[in-house]
A and B are shown apart, each in its own frame.
Chain A
């Protein structure tokens, strides 16, 4: 038997197997919101026996009404937390975030259930100084708007069922765990820990797998995703290509990207094939071909012409996941919530 002390009291040298199983089982560690406690039920006192039956009926009736009534306020469970960290926090207040409502966490942390009570598809943790609004509680999709701050999402619904609008891109969950940050200027950063996330703005799409990050800027949209293990020079050069002004600096950045790229950075080069044009696209083709040979049917001319089917074929050769998987879920991305309903509600 290994990990005796750690298994028993969580102290001492962590046992690798115990830790692994703790991590694998952690997604199940979630609790339903507190029910609405019926008044006076369980109270000790002279009237307790006389009122017991009535209290029991009241308890059941109120509990069922609050939890089940179709007429109940539509929204997601929200728990406000107190404490210096996620691991050392306790719930101090619970309420419901209704459709169309916004919250600003200010100095506190909060947990937001994704979905109506009893029908949750995930959970979002909100860091201090975060502002989010509930756009759609689940009528068409589960949709939040993040205008500022940091949120950590864990979603176990099928792909495409959880969407987050930000000022510069829309994040579409494809079965995963991720962190999304938005600064005061509306620029964002997506960091994916498990599964996939799609990032989209006006037809510009980025597909971000676990271990990768993707920045976004207001008015431009999502940049080129890259693995966090890529070199710093590679990441900085990508940022220049994505968000820098056209000119010599951008050309130098492309040179740096092509020089620094590893086979694993095929993820980034593949995205650049769809973003660059002309000879720049041709140079990316040549470098990606050297790192990840294209399958039969993929030609330089076809890629230069922008044939999506060829790019998809090549994607499948990157060893990430079949393009069929995410093409299914990206068809309706260009239909975010109407603009006049976004970022308009005042903080509560």
Chain B
């Protein structure tokens, strides 16, 4: 068995793992590229959980926290799931601490303010169960596909697919749309 294993070439580290290794060695440019790759996911996870006026600050906070802890990450391949966990914890911590927040009203008229209409839909998504709202925000707001969501967050593709479909059905109902056959 050991002999067989020795014949199988070791898998080459992914581009993501190479970036993580470089960042752990102090390469800030590499960490910047990790930011570009994972910031949409972190943004989406926070957008699903915290007041909108705080999202941008918390995205930056999550990446600064992650940078400080980067040396403790054992598996470079696990960076996505790891930083997703930091983001979810940071959101919980945000509520627990009762940090100063200003939740802007949701009744901005969508006709004149495209973003106001978007916030109105997001408000409905945020009333859904956590697992559904997270995957819906990543798919519909951040534009990630289901396989990308699974890869970046560390969730299984099956879970993401179920969450997407059930969540979307609940969102349709929240929007007052009739059942489709």
Q: Which positions in A face B, CB cutoff 8 Å?
A: 1-4, 7-10, 17-18, 21-22, 24-29, 31-32, 34-35, 37-44, 48, 52, 55-56, 59-60, 63, 67, 90-91, 118, 154, 156, 159, 174-177, 194-196
Contacts and interface: CB of A to CB of B under 8 A. Distances in A.
Contacts of B114: 27, 154, 156, 176-177, 194-195
Main secondary structure of the interface of B (DSSP, over half): helix
A156 B161 CA distance: 33
B165 A1 contact: yes
A27 B121 CA distance: 12
Interface in B43-86: 43, 47, 56-57, 59-61, 63-64, 66-71
Given A35-B63, A37-B67, A24 B117 contact: yes
A297 to B, nearest CB: 27
Interface residues of B, number: 54
B26 A28 contact: no
B60 A67 contact: yes
Nearest to A156: B115
Given A42-B68, A44-B25, A195-B114, A18 B146 contact: no
A9 B145 CA distance: 5
A195 B36 contact: no
B26 A35 contact: no
Interface stretch (B1-9, B11-19, B27-35, B94-102): B27-35
B118 interface: yes
A21 B121 contact: yes
A29 B164 CA distance: 18
Contacts, number: 142
Interface of B: 23-26, 28, 31-32, 35-36, 39-40, 43, 47, 56-57, 59-61, 63-64, 66-71, 111-119, 121-122, 139-143, 145-147, 161, 164-165, 168-169, 171-172, 177, 180
Contacts of B171: 21
Nearest to A92: B36
B165 A48 contact: no
Given A28-B141, A35-B60, A1 B118 contact: no
A156 B113 contact: yes
Contacts of A3: 168
Contacts of B177: 17
A42 B180 contact: no
Given A34-B36, A40-B26, A43-B71, 14 more contacts: A7-B164, A10-B145, A22-B140, A25-B141, A26-B118, A27-B115, A27-B117, A28-B141, A41-B64, A42-B71, A44-B70, A63-B64, A175-B113, A176-B114
Contacts of A159: 112
Contacts of A175: 112-113
A176 B66 CA distance: 37
B41 to A, nearest CB: 11
Given A18-B168, A25-B140, A90-B36, A9 B146 contact: yes
Contacts of B71: 42-44, 48, 52
B115 A37 contact: no
When A and B form their complex, which 10 residue pairs have the shortest distance between CB atoms, in order from nearest?
A: A42-B70, A156-B115, A32-B56, A43-B26, A175-B112, A27-B115, A8-B146, A37-B28, A42-B67, A35-B60
